């Protein structure tokens, strides 16, 4: 929201009932996304609650065949100078231009926002292409997953691993999602890990040595770690 709003205003903008708006505002306020405060009524009535956004975040959803990515990303904090180290080179001059200034005029803001929108569109186009390429990879691996892992739980685990190949699986979250007991989930993970180790060794022409008690997961053979 560009400025604080009353529930009635939001109801009119969104074209939904004020009751539904109030219900969602309560959930958002409990989660810390919005904040409310009471202000005097312009018409002399009782004070009214007005709501304002307290967090800056981005919600991304990519959906399609062999594709599902949902992310909630908190936007970086700080002023223009602090943001400079994370900006593309085309946006750094804008950060430098407004750094230390409290206000910019409407015409200047229109020019700066237009430049930023162009940069965002280029970055979005690159991201779209990367997501499409990601989808192509997942499409091509799906048949291999189906062939090598006959059980649904095994396939689900492999696809979970493929979402972030260099990050260990959260056993508790994964087992709860499939309503599996921890011992059963551990057995499935061990089975999938062993098959993947054989596949990595076979396709890479490498020999992976690890004793039976070893906790070495298959993704450790890939090297490195994801930030």
Q: Supply the pLDDT for residue 191.
A: 87
Place of tokens 């991304």: 60
CB-neighbour burial class of residue 173 (10 A; exposed 0-12, middle 13-18, buried 19+): exposed
Return the pLDDT at 226: 47
Q: Which pTM was predicted? A: 0.69
Give yes or no for a contact between 94 and 79, defined as CB atoms under 8 angstroms apart.
Answer: no
Q: Are 38 and 49 in contact (CB under 8 A)?
A: yes
Closest CA to 3 of 58, 54, 52, 36: 52
* pLDDT tens for each residue of the chain, 227 residues long: 678 888 888 999 889 999 999 999 999 999 888 999 988 877 777 888 899 988 888 999 999 998 888 898 989 988 999 999 999 999 999 999 999 899 999 999 999 999 999 999 999 999 999 999 999 999 999 988 998 899 999 999 999 888 888 788 888 899 999 999 989 998 998 888 888 877 777 765 555 555 555 554 544 444 444 44
Whole-number pLDDT of residue 80: 93
User: Which pLDDT score, from 0 to 100, does residue 204 have?
Assistant: 59
């Amino acid at each position: 929201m560009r400025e604080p709003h009353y529930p009635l205003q939001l109801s009119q903008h969104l074209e939904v009932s004020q009751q539904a708006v109030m219900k969602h505002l309560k959930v958002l306020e409990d989660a810390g996304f919005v904040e409310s405060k009471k202000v005097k009524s312009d018409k002399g009535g009782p004070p009214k609650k007005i709501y304002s956004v307290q967090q800056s975040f981005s919600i991304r959803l990519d959906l399609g065949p062999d594709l599902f990515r949902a992310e909630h990303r908190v936007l970086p904090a700080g002023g223009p100078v602090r943001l400079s180290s994370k900006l593309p080179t085309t946006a750094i001059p804008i950060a430098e231009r407004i750094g230390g200034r409290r206000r910019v005029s409407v015409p200047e803001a229109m020019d700066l926002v237009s430049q930023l929108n162009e940069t965002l569109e280029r970055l979005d186009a690159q991201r779209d292409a990367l997501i499409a390429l990601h989808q192509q990879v997942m499409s091509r691996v799906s048949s291999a997953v189906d062939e090598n892992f006959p059980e649904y739980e095994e396939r689900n685990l492999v696809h979970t691993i493929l979402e972030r190949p260099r990050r260990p699986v959260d056993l508790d979250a994964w087992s709860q999602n499939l309503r599996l007991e921890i011992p059963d989930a551990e057995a499935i993970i061990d089975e999938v890990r062993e098959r993947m180790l054989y596949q990595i060794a076979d396709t890479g022409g490498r020999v992976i040595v690890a004793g039976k008690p070893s906790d070495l997961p298959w993704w450790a053979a890939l090297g490195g770690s994801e930030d």
